[in-house]
Structure 1
Amino acid sequence: MEQSELLSVLEKVANGDISVENAMLRLKQQPFSDIGYAKVDHHRGLRQGTGEVIYGAGKTPEQICGIISSMLKHGQHRVLITRLTVDAAAAVSEKYSIDYHPDCGIAVIGGNRPADGIGRVVISTGGTSDIPVAEEAALTAEFLGNEVVRLYDVGVAGIHRLMAHLEEIMSATVIIAIAGMEGALASVVGGLADCPVIAVPTSVGYGASFGGLSALLSMLNSCASGVSVVNIDNGFGAAYQASMINHIGRKNENTLP
């Protein structure tokens, strides 16, 4: 059950459309389902505003289908799956209708939440090689109900490419800066924007980049204020945080007295 569904139940009780007993029955449903290999959290949407997300890596197609079945059965009509391989996606698609993006391993069931954030999430990359991580972030942010602007291949090696998008940068509610190599993009964007910047180091780079560790350390040591950093290649985590920032105003509007 998501928070919007809880509000709907309470409104129906207030209007006399359902009884208090029926409302209690719906709220008392088991908060998770134990299906053996997974304990599927059905109250996460109620607690956090967003339902559970399936991390596809390391799971068999049968396990993923079982988790999806449990989610749908308990009213989670929109499901996001990350790090889903092509082979696993093919197997899952035999049972469920999925919108699959093989370039970043994202799959969606039930479509995206309508964009209802307070502004726009801008996603920028240093280079084209960072796009798979950026698309994981962009598709996650769109699934969570955000308007997304993509600024790809605007790294510091040709900084004029970034400067051509100052309007998008300066009007953003939150920016995700994604880069490998030395990870300098986050500091540059952080020095231009008046909003939170979430830096994502990627594993793109030559040997001394150490699989993204160099970019991670550079971003952690950024001299620009307002820059936070997530783990290497973690586009999903950056998008989730960005969505929370972009919905803070909406959350305050919906807070009951």
Structure 2
Amino acid sequence: MTDHYDSIESLLQAIKTNQLSVSDAKAELNQYDELGFAKIDLHRSKRQGFPEVIFGEGKTEKHLIKIIHSLLLHEETVLITRINSEKANTIITKYPQLEYHATANIVCTRLNYIHKTERQTAIICAGTSDLPVAEEAAVTAEVMGISVKRFYDVGVSGIHRLFAHIEDIRACNVSVVVAGMEGALSSVVAGLVDHPVYAVPTSIGYGANLDGVTTLLSMVNSCAPGTSVLNIDNGFGGGYNAAMIINMLEHHSKME
């Protein structure tokens, strides 16, 4: 395996100084790995700061294993979302360097291998029924190197539970608020903190919840500024966006 180079110029310098062969340089310039059924984006981490994420739902075990092999061959961090326990167990047996988070439905690089930021994101969950989405957000952020603080079962029907943690939430740099039903929790949190809030509606609720549509519309219509709304049950998007903000803060602080 070759090292990853930050630019074409550094790649050319490596060839010039005999640190890299021409054949290895050609492999480094290859932007994707052609698997026939998939094209693995090998330059995603260079463009966006994190490798391609695998959406596990609908993919066969055979396809998943080949995709993982490609990512590991190129020394990429692995994150697979929406994967059931049967597929996960097959993958972990073949790749014991990965781990399965059952509540989040995620297989990923072991979290203890990943260095975490000092800055933190708060993952705030209204109720226990929302935990799979909240954990998808939390584990996604952790795989991306973010320190996470979890605040679960703090919905507005017992709002004193939220207030018991509000100072710890305020100390974080981003909040991801996961809620179903009427989705009021995101507006409450956004009105109490001075950092960005990502609201993630879930499909949890009774009939008029309309599988999360009511929650989505409620969050979109929030009167609390500083709130951005993700798609229904999109914990991955909430965790990913929070990670991007914190990684940006970390990058700029290192440049100062």
**TM-score, length-scaled by structure 1:** 0.89
User: What is the match of residue 71 of structure 2?
Assistant: 71
**How far has the Cα of 1:249 moved from its partner?**
2.1
8 Å contact kept, 1:169–1:192: no
Percent identical across equivalent pairs?
A: 46
Alpha-carbon distance in 2 for matches of 1:249, 1:5: 23
Q: Do residues 228 (structure 1) and 228 (structure 2) align? A: yes
**How far has the Cα of 1:67 moved from its partner?**
0.3
**How far has the Cα of 1:172 moved from its partner?**
1.3
User: What is the match of residue 88 of structure 1?
Assistant: 87
Alpha-carbon distance in 2 for matches of 1:161, 1:22: 61
Write the mapping of 1:29-48 to structure 2, written as runs, cut at 5 A: 29-48=29-48
Alpha-carbon distance in 1 for matches of 2:153, 2:35: 44
8 Å contact kept, 2:100–2:108: yes
SS in 1 for 2:94: coil
8 Å contact kept, 2:56–2:81: yes
Alpha-carbon distance in 1 for matches of 2:164, 2:110: 36
Q: Deviations over 1:119-144 (max 9, x none)?
A: 21001111111111111111111110
8 Å contact kept, 2:54–2:79: yes
**How far has the Cα of 1:251 moved from its partner?**
2.6
Distance change (3 Å), C-alpha of 1:60 and 1:212: same
Alpha-carbon distance in 2 for matches of 1:55, 1:19: 36
Q: Do residues 249 (structure 1) and 249 (structure 2) align? A: yes
**How far has the Cα of 1:29 moved from its partner?**
2.9
Q: Deviations over 1:203-225 (max 9, x none)?
A: 11111100011110000000000
**TM-score, length-scaled by structure 2:** 0.89
Amino acid at match of 1:96: Y
User: What is the match of residue 140 of structure 1?
Assistant: 140
User: What is the match of residue 217 of structure 1?
Assistant: 217
User: What is the match of residue 116 of structure 1?
Assistant: 117
User: What is the match of residue 57 of structure 2?
Assistant: 57
CA root-mean-square deviation: 2.6
Of 40-49 and 89-98, deviating more is 89-98
8 Å contact kept, 1:79–1:110: no
Amino acid at match of 1:70: S
User: What is the match of residue 173 of structure 1?
Assistant: 173
**How far has the Cα of 1:250 moved from its partner?**
2.4
| Structure 2 residues not aligned, in runs of 5+ | none
Distance change (3 Å), C-alpha of 1:93 and 1:18: same
Q: How many residues align?
A: 250
Alpha-carbon distance in 1 for matches of 2:18, 2:217: 55
**How far has the Cα of 1:7 moved from its partner?**
4.9
